[in-house]
Amino acid sequence: MIVMKIRILIGWLAYLWKIQRLGEPDQEEVLRIKRLRDLFNALPSIGNVNEVCSEWQRNRVQLRRLVQSDDPRRFLSWKVIRRTMFVNDTPYLYCELDYLQNKADWDSNWSDLVIEDSVGSPARLSGYPVSSGTNIHHAYHLAKFEEMTQSAIKDKELIVEFGGGYGNMCRAVHRMGFRGQYVIIDLPEFSLLQQYFLESNQIEVYRDKSDFNKYRESGVYCVSDLEKLTAINGIASDSLFIACWSLSETPLSLRTAILQKLNRFRSYLIGYQSAFEGVNNTEYFDSFMRERPNNDWSHQDIIHLAGNYYIFGKED
């Protein structure tokens, strides 16, 4: 109990100190911010925010403007990020934190994994300020996967994540000791944001334009060109496909286009809501599992998130 209180106090002091002293960027940060802005400037135009209809198109336009006009070192405070991919302080997070703290390896594994750092200036969890809502939420996904499949994330050779947010899941996996190849598939703007976030965490991201079969056996690749996906061989290695509330929020035609380009994987971690914009996701993922009979599937209600579900799959 005393150790917990000390952790909470240190977390709040570190957070408040960082807010007060953000100050001017150092030379390394200046170069990283310039590179980010240059890469955004090089993206093809997608029009004015008032001229695009899709919510995600509007998010892309807003992100482009913010990268150029605001300080990327505090990008996790931007409304477009807080609304779409940062997990804010909500009651269900304490159910997930309680689950993690009651694991036998909490002290040796998960307690360090959930500690937040200053990259992006993330808001902290009020009841456990050494961490953030996103860190707790992602650690919970990973812990449930390991429990249900009896396999270790760090031992995977290939992980492909569809819809990688700002890169936090990738960071968490690397903190767990993963050293294989990690591919994040996302929209161009979010791929660049992921590169910025991961590089700020000293995780190397490759921008090589060659085919995947020429890539190194380890490293992170942020990809928005779907034509490159056909070279990913998910079955040839101990592979994992992650899609936490991303595939379930994607139009059916795009889901089909992406999954047709990817080989079957040895394991799966998927989170989804029962319906999204008229699509019955429960029926969709029932079909998804039937089409992959070589995997042993576990389909679970998320009790503390009504109407949301996990799918855990592991090849027999």
Q: Looking at the predicted structure, is the pLDDT value of residue 232 above 80?
A: no
Cα–Cα distance, 125 to 217 (Å, whole number): 36
Assigned domain for 48 exists: yes
Compute CA distances 20 → 16, 98, 121, 160, whole Å.
6, 31, 11, 37
Domain boundary among 38, 70, 102: 70
16 in any annotated domain: no
> 178 and 32 share a domain?
no
CA R_g for the chain: 19
Out of 10, 38, 70, a domain closes at 70
Q: Does some domain include residue 100? A: no
Q: What is the CATH number of the domain that holds 300?
A: 3.40.50.150
Residues 173 and 308 in one domain: yes
Same domain membership, residue 176 and residue 54 = no
Return the amino acid letter for 52. V
Does a structural domain hold residue 96?
Answer: no
Do 40 and 158 belong to one domain? no
> Is 255 inside any structural domain?
yes
Task: Tell me if 301 is assigned to some domain.
Answer: yes
Number of domains in the chain: 2
Q: Tell me whether residue 252 is in a domain.
A: yes
Residues 207 and 60 in one domain: no
pLDDT above 70 (res 5): no
Phi-psi region of 153 (alpha: psi -120 to 50; beta: other; left: phi over 0): alpha
Predicted confidence band at 213 (pLDDT cuts at 50, 70, 90)? low
Does 86 map to a domain?
no
pLDDT band at 278 (very low <50, low <70, confident <90, very high): very high
307 and 213 in a single domain? The answer is yes
Q: What is the pTM of this model?
A: 0.90
Q: pLDDT tens, 282-297? A: 999 999 999 999 999 9
Check whether residue 47 and residue 172 sit in a common domain: no
CA dihedral 223, 229, 235, 238 (to 10 degrees): -10
65 and 177 belong to one structural domain: no
How far is it, in rounded angstroms, from Cα 82 to Cα 138? 15
Digit-coded pLDDT (tens) for 165-176: 999 999 999 999
Domain boundary among 6, 38, 70: 70
- Which one is predicted more confidently, 201 or 49? 201
The lowest-confidence range among 107-116, 137-146, 221-230, 269-278 is 221-230
Predicted pLDDT at 296? 96
* Domain span holding position 274: 154-315
pLDDT band at 229 (very low <50, low <70, confident <90, very high): confident
Residue 260 reports pLDDT greater than 90: no
Domain shared by 41 and 158, yes or no: no
Closest CA to 67 of 192, 177, 182, 248: 192
Mean pLDDT of 127-145: 97
Are 197 and 307 in a shared domain? yes
Are 188 and 310 in the same domain? yes
Dig out the tokens for 61 from the structure: 């336009």
User: Are residues 57 and 171 both part of a single domain?
Assistant: no
